[in-house]
Amino acid sequence: MAERFDLLIFDWDGTLSDSTGLITQSIQSAFAEVGLEVPTRQQASFVIGYGLVQAMQYLAPAASDEKIADVIEAYKRHYLARDADILLFEGVPEALARYQEAGYLLAVATGKSRKGLDRALGNTGLDRYFDFSRCADECQSKPHPQMIDEITDRLGVAPARAVMIGDTTHDLQMAANAGAASLGVAYGAHPRHELAALQPLAVFDTFAELDTWVNQYG
């Protein structure tokens, strides 16, 4: 492998984990349950990567704090009912093992809570590969650069030697705000043209394409 980057930072949902559909469906079900106007699939997909409070406030800006709390609790119930069924994208464990063996530092920057990420890492067995992670309940929500800032500080890597890999414009904008490079994946929440508008190094339609790029140019 090349040595352009020392640190690969991955988003979780829609990048490593095929969970975008469940998230959008759970948001829609939660809004219906508490009597709020149900967002479209596109609207629900847009907020993936935000912390839960910010996501629900974005989708229901006129809702009271109490109503936001209700919809968050409903969302958690709908999501957790099927959480264990979520699959990783094909090739993810093998690729992470190769990256680790090649000497990359690996991290996760996610809109999930710490409890949610730890559960996902444990369920998938991927916890062995990551050196550090930051979650939405530990930092300011994407696209604020705090997650990447804390990851690079903790791992002793200059932002210019790190690349953020994600499926949303929030991921790519966070990277730009932190002075890091970015790679977009168009198989998750946000469409290719929106990702490309933020000028990542590349945008990929499958995890296999991303893996090939990292192996050749990372």
Instruction: DSSP for 24-61, please give it.
Output: HHHHHHHHHHHTPPPPPHHHHHHTBTB-HHHHHHHH-T
Give the active site residue among 11, 70, 149, 211. Answer: 11
Radius of gyration over alpha carbons of the chain, in Å? 17
The residue to which tokens 């094909």 are assigned: 90
Q: Is 13 a catalytic residue?
A: yes
**Residue 3 three-state SS:** coil
Among the listed residues 6, 13, 18, 167, the single catalytic one is: 13
Instruction: Give the pairing type, strands 132-134 and 105-109.
Output: parallel
Residue tagged 């352009």 (tokens): 4
Contact 5, 104 (CB under 8 A): yes
11 is catalytic: yes
136: left (phi over 0), alpha (psi -120 to 50) or beta: alpha
Show which residues are catalytic.
11, 13
